[in-house]
Amino acid sequence: MAASAQNFMAALFISFTFVSTSFSQSILGISPQLLDLFAINRVFGHRKILKDNAFYCESWRFTVETNDAGFWNLTPKRCTSFVKDYMTGHHYSSDSAAVADQSLAFASTVKVSKDRMDAWIFDVDETLLSNLPYYVTHGFGSETFDEIAFDKWVIEADAPAIPASLKLYKELQQRGFKIFLLTGRSEYQRNDTEKNLVHAGYSNWERLILRGPTDNGKPATQYKSEKRKELEDEGYRIRGSSGDQWSDLMGFAVAQRSFKLPNPMYYVA
Ligand SMILES: [Mg+2]
């Protein structure tokens, strides 16, 4: 096809896109932003979307949160500012609140028994406590994890509560659930962890379970499953479990319902 003919066809296509877009918008009431996305798709295709950091990073975050991505090491460099905006803007707190709302909706359906054996398990980091003040100075997950620096941060015991989680925690307590805290932190961090939890507003948990000497080196899924199994063997009914990692929630002796909190900054296998 001659160049002039190609230009004509392109102009015709764009004109058609404009006309059909205006028509659809007026008839169906579709937002201009959504139509822009459709137009980008039609005219430029998948490659344009992959080149656009906002689209790429939102899709990357989707695969991370759904665990479609499986193991991943660092947040992509091109998504550092995306993750920063997500974590420090309203998006993270909104998603966290949505998860807490769904958790409470489920908890409302549970007939809590008078035997006090209905249990709810919470992870600690990025579930009850937010280490965002640490990650603000460590690249929002784009830098290799610095265990020594993070341990110093844990000793400070200054991580704030995730507000929606604190609210959920208190609601569940009021409804009669026994609260267990199951964390990948180690026994030597018990005092600092307890101090931080209390400082952030948490209280009256039934038990704080940390990695002991025999748990070292175990993958998180195995370690947490074993601890849940021990609770089941004690007679507890694990109604709900909340965690920011799939390894908090998968494996065996899983809760009746598991609730995944957002975390686009790191992955724990
Ligand atoms: Mg966690």
Across the chain, what does the average pLDDT equal?
Answer: 89
Q: Does residue 5 surpass a pLDDT of 60?
A: no
CA distance 63 to 66: 5
Q: E strands, the chain, where?
A: 118-122, 178-186, 207-211, 237-243, 257-260
> How far is the centre of ligand 1, averaged over its atoms, from the C-alpha of 211 (Å)?
14
- pLDDT score, position 51: 73
| Mean pLDDT confidence for 21-39 | 50
Assess contact for 189 and 216: CB atoms under 8 A. no
Q: What is the pTM of this model?
A: 0.83
Read off the tokens for 65.
């949160």
Q: Does residue 137 surpass a pLDDT of 90?
A: yes
Q: Does residue 261 surpass a pLDDT of 70?
A: yes
Confidence of residue 38 (pLDDT cuts 50, 70, 90): low
Q: Does residue 232 surpass a pLDDT of 80?
A: yes
Residue count of the chain, please give it: 269
> How far is the centre of ligand 1, averaged over its atoms, from the C-alpha of 234 (Å)?
24
> How far is the centre of ligand 1, averaged over its atoms, from the C-alpha of 9 (Å)?
54
> How far is the centre of ligand 1, averaged over its atoms, from the C-alpha of 248 (Å)?
7
CA dihedral (159, 163, 167, 172) positive or negative: negative
- 43-80, pLDDT tens digit by residue? 555 666 667 898 999 999 999 999 999 999 999 999 99
Q: Worst-scoring range by mean pLDDT, 47-56, 114-123, 240-249?
A: 47-56
